[in-house]
A and B are shown apart, each in its own frame.
Chain A
Amino acid sequence: MMRSSKYILIGILFGMTLYKAEAVSWFRIYEMFHFQSFHMYGIIFSAIAVGVLLVQWIKRTHMKSTEGKEIEITEKDKHAPRYIYGGIIFGLGWALAGVCPGPMFIVLGSGYTVLVVFLLAAITGTFMYGLLRKYLPH
Chain B
Amino acid sequence: MVPTFILDIIAFISQPWPWWVAGPMIALIMFLLLKFGKEFGISANFRIMCAADGAGDYADFFKFDWQSQGWNLLIALGAVFGGYMTSHYFAGADGNIAHVSAATVESLRELGMNFQEGQVPLIPDFYSWEALFTLPGFMVIVVGGFLVGFGARYAGGCTSGHAISGMSALQLGSLYAVIGFFAGGLFMTYVLFPLIF
- Tell me the A residues contacting B by CB distance below 8 Å: 4, 6-31, 33-34, 36-52, 54-55, 58, 63, 65-67, 69, 71, 73-80, 82-102, 104-115, 117-131, 133, 136
Contact of A83 (CB < 8 Å), options: B16, B24, B61, B156: B156
Q: Is the CB of B86 within 8 A of A20?
A: yes
Closest residue to B147 on the A side, CB-wise?
Answer: A93
What number of residue pairs across chains A and B have CB atoms under 8 A from each other? 492
A-B contact pairs, 10 of them (CB 8 A): A15-B80, A22-B16, A26-B123, A43-B23, A65-B36, A80-B176, A84-B176, A87-B177, A120-B145, A121-B146
Q: Is the CB of B90 within 8 A of A33?
A: no
Q: Is the CB of B128 within 8 A of A125?
A: no
Question: Which residues of B sit under 8 angstroms from A97, Cβ to Cβ?
Answer: 140-141, 144-145, 147-148
Question: Which residues of A sit under 8 angstroms from B174, Cβ to Cβ?
Answer: 76, 83
Q: Is the CB of A94 within 8 A of B185?
A: yes
Q: Is the CB of A118 within 8 A of B141?
A: yes
Per DSSP, chain B at the interface is helix
Q: Is the CB of B81 within 8 A of A46?
A: no
Question: Which residues of A sit under 8 angstroms from B143, Cβ to Cβ?
Answer: 93, 96, 121
**For A46, A93, A123, which residue has the most chain B Cβ atoms within 10 angstroms?**
A93
Q: Is the CB of A37 within 8 A of B100?
A: yes
Question: Which residues of A sit under 8 angstroms from B28, Cβ to Cβ?
Answer: 50, 54
Contact of A78 (CB < 8 Å), options: B39, B165, B173: B173
Q: Is the CB of B100 within 8 A of A36?
A: yes
**For A77, A99, A122, which residue has the most chain B Cβ atoms within 10 angstroms?**
A122
Question: Which residues of B sit under 8 angstroms from A95, Cβ to Cβ?
Answer: 184-186, 188-189, 193
Contact of B27 (CB < 8 Å), options: A9, A50, A58: A50
Contact of A108 (CB < 8 Å), options: B22, B80, B104, B193: B80
Question: Which residues of B sit under 8 angstroms from A111, Cβ to Cβ?
Answer: 84, 87
In Å, the complex CA distance between A94 and B163 comes to 13
Closest residue to B84 on the A side, CB-wise?
Answer: A109
Q: Is the CB of A110 within 8 A of B87?
A: yes
Question: Which residues of A sit under 8 angstroms from B104, Cβ to Cβ?
Answer: 27, 30-31, 34, 36-37
Q: Is the CB of A16 within 8 A of B85?
A: yes
- With A25-B98, A82-B154, A93-B148 already in contact, 9 other A-B pairs whose C-beta atoms are closer than 8 Å: A17-B25, A21-B21, A84-B183, A88-B187, A90-B154, A91-B183, A109-B84, A111-B87, A122-B149
